[in-house]
Chain A
């Protein structure tokens, strides 16, 4: 039981390049989330999904796209990376049902855009 895994762990991009971050969970959770964490700031929600095939915008969605084609996977895409997207990205998942709202987080992906 691996929980929530993220691929890759580290990545360096040049401005304008694209990439996809992969999140996978093996807990059969309905809800999945992508956050970014910047120095001096808390985690900010980028996008989330309440089930397979669904996505919704969070607090800071600009410059990112997501897809949830399979229940266990949630992909975060950067179409044209900018230095402002240098951050640590965390994926999380939860049951999303009464009394089971806590989120389980992956280990994070450190992204640097030069």
Chain B
């Protein structure tokens, strides 16, 4: 098991609502990346946080936003939820900028939008 935790485990929201997902990083890591895994797809890169700033974003609209805190933990916020936002959201912690470094994943948060 990795030292990366995510909360909550499951979440049900209705369309138009807002949601916040949380992730704690592994000790010694300073970077958190967020991924969305929709049914039948591989994890899709949402964005990455380093030094409390967003560094790199995948093909996701601005209603997906995030934060990173001084202890390197992170939040993913999604506003104006849509049905297609239903997915498993994974976070991963790593060291900054090292392509050969393993990313350590949390168990994910399952979001259902009704």
Q: Do A and B bind each other?
A: no
* Interface positions of A (Cβ within 8 A of B): none
